[in-house]
Amino acid sequence: MKRRDWLAASALAAATAGGTFGNSRIGLTAEVPQQSNDRLKITDVKTFLTAPAGIRLVVVKVLTNQAGLYGLGCATFTQRARVVQTAVDRYLKPFLVGKDPARIEDIWQSSFVSSYWRNGPVLNNAISGVDIALWDLLGKRAGMPVYQLLGGKCRDAVDTYRHASGDSFQAVADDVRRYMQQGYRHVRVQVAIPGTSTYGARKSEQEDESIPENRRTSIWEPKPYVRTIPKLFEFLRAELGEEIELLHDVHERVPPVLAIQLAKELEPYRLFFLEDPFSPEDIGYFKHLRAQTSTPLAMGELFNNPNEFVGLIKDRLIDFIRVHISQIGGLTPARKLAALCDFFAVRTAWHGPGDVSPVGHAANIHLDLATPNFGIQEAREFSQEEQDVFPGCPELRDGYYWSNDRPGLGIDLDEQ
Ligand code: MG
């Protein structure tokens, strides 16, 4: 059937359904006849850039014609924040003003195709800011936390992991112990690689005058890194025992064949997961990696497009999905992704570092609470400055994130 015929047939079906279906939408963007003058509608969409912890965050506020009723969403693409802001202010806002904020799925779908070209990080983050705000807003209207709208709690709190690092193996072990004493059961470990500049390297090392200046801030050598990490894990298992769950992030930084060697060498140390062994451009290597090692694999921090993760999940090539929720477009696609993973025994491990706003962390946590195949949540402590800007920041206690159980996402923004 041609598209025009299909539309006509759909219109006829809707018309003949009559009565209760009289207001059904035919296509994705057709307007619903206004039933009364006080119909709830979106009246404004605002973007806020703020950096209370030094990392620029992008937060979107969706306002309605009901006084005091608004929602907040995370649109943080910190490296290109102003581009996201333009996408929201110049394109999404005029597209959304006047629409019914309860039509979350429809708004997501129509916003997604509104640019014709799609699936990039800027537009996905812009849509996410609106999408998460609409879920927050719906929760406030219902008087329920968002996790309740997603099906209700599968757990009382969200198990998390923290980041330990250091200049030496001993310093990493000491950092892990510090987290274990605070109640954490999962810790990601990274160590400085001498002569290179990796995250995990302390500032002191980057200023080490024994390292030539031109090698202090921009040199990355895959082979010394790949030789060092198995030795780190051998040391940590001897030092810390078997019970603590250890994670490691390759951060897409080595040639694929070295990542395969690394994953095989790490097998005896029983990692909770090895993260992002390949760049998104190299995901074709996963079938080779999977065939050669039982080291658990997490992937997806840089994913934007469903074509990047659907194949890995259906072919059972990864164990944890690591996407940054705003990067794929917000809660609406993330809850579907979690459900897809559930059918293939893949668990969730949503990205949760400093370049996710506290609003985004709250969205992660509400989804974690309601997801049966939840795996782990990357966590961070919120500074006093962040808590001042975002009243209602999720609470981190005994290694768990706790929701405050307030309606919506339970978090606010102090615009001052
Ligand atoms: Mg990562």
**Rounded-to-integer distance, Cα 349 and Cα 29, Å:** 33
- Secondary structure class of 359 (helix, strand, coil): helix
CA of 343 to the centre of ligand 1 (A): 24
Dmax of the chain from CA atoms?
Answer: 81
Q: Are 325 and 364 in contact (CB under 8 A)?
A: yes
Q: Are 259 and 292 in contact (CB under 8 A)?
A: no
**Rounded-to-integer distance, Cα 15 and Cα 5, Å:** 15
Closest CA to 232 of 274, 191, 276: 191
The count of C-alpha atoms lying within 13 angstroms of the C-alpha of 77, restricted to the half-sphere facing its C-beta, is 27
**pLDDT at residue number 220:** 77
Helix 331-342 and helix 358-370, axial crossing angle in degrees, nearest 10: 30
Q: Are 163 and 190 in contact (CB under 8 A)?
A: yes
CA of 32 to the centre of ligand 1 (A): 43
**Rounded-to-integer distance, Cα 180 and Cα 84, Å:** 38
CA of 12 to the centre of ligand 1 (A): 50
CA of 36 to the centre of ligand 1 (A): 49
**Rounded-to-integer distance, Cα 352 and Cα 393, Å:** 14
**Rounded-to-integer distance, Cα 272 and Cα 288, Å:** 20
CA of 67 to the centre of ligand 1 (A): 40
**pLDDT at residue number 194:** 79
Helix (H) or strand (E) holding 311: helix 306-314
**Rounded-to-integer distance, Cα 248 and Cα 275, Å:** 6
Q: Centre a 10 Å sphere on the Cβ of residue 125 and count the other Cβ atoms it contains.
A: 33
**Rounded-to-integer distance, Cα 409 and Cα 135, Å:** 8
What residues act catalytically? 199, 251
**Rounded-to-integer distance, Cα 320 and Cα 19, Å:** 46
CA of 115 to the centre of ligand 1 (A): 29
Q: Which two tokens stand for residue 254?
A: 């080595």
Instruction: For tokens 């309740």, name the residue.
Output: 148
**pLDDT at residue number 352:** 96
CA of 291 to the centre of ligand 1 (A): 23
**Rounded-to-integer distance, Cα 249 and Cα 407, Å:** 35
Q: Are 93 and 45 in contact (CB under 8 A)?
A: yes
**pLDDT at residue number 218:** 60
**Rounded-to-integer distance, Cα 127 and Cα 107, Å:** 9
Residues of the chain whose pLDDT is less than 50? 1-36, 200-203, 205
How confident is the model over 111-121, as pLDDT tens digits?
A: 999 999 999 99
How confident is the model over 57-83, as pLDDT tens digits?
A: 999 999 999 999 999 999 999 999 999
How confident is the model over 187-235, as pLDDT tens digits?
A: 999 999 877 765 544 445 455 566 555 555 567 789 999 999 999 999 9
Q: Are 129 and 81 in contact (CB under 8 A)?
A: no
**pLDDT at residue number 195:** 72
Q: Centre a 10 Å sphere on the Cβ of residue 384 and count the other Cβ atoms it contains.
A: 8
Q: Which two tokens stand for residue 280?
A: 């998104």
**pLDDT at residue number 187:** 98
CA of 338 to the centre of ligand 1 (A): 18
pTM of the model: 0.88
- Give me the residues paired with residue 320 across strands: 298, 347
Q: Are 232 and 169 in contact (CB under 8 A)?
A: yes
CA of 77 to the centre of ligand 1 (A): 15
CA of 300 to the centre of ligand 1 (A): 8
CA of 352 to the centre of ligand 1 (A): 9
DSSP 88: I
**Rounded-to-integer distance, Cα 399 and Cα 397, Å:** 5
CA of 86 to the centre of ligand 1 (A): 27
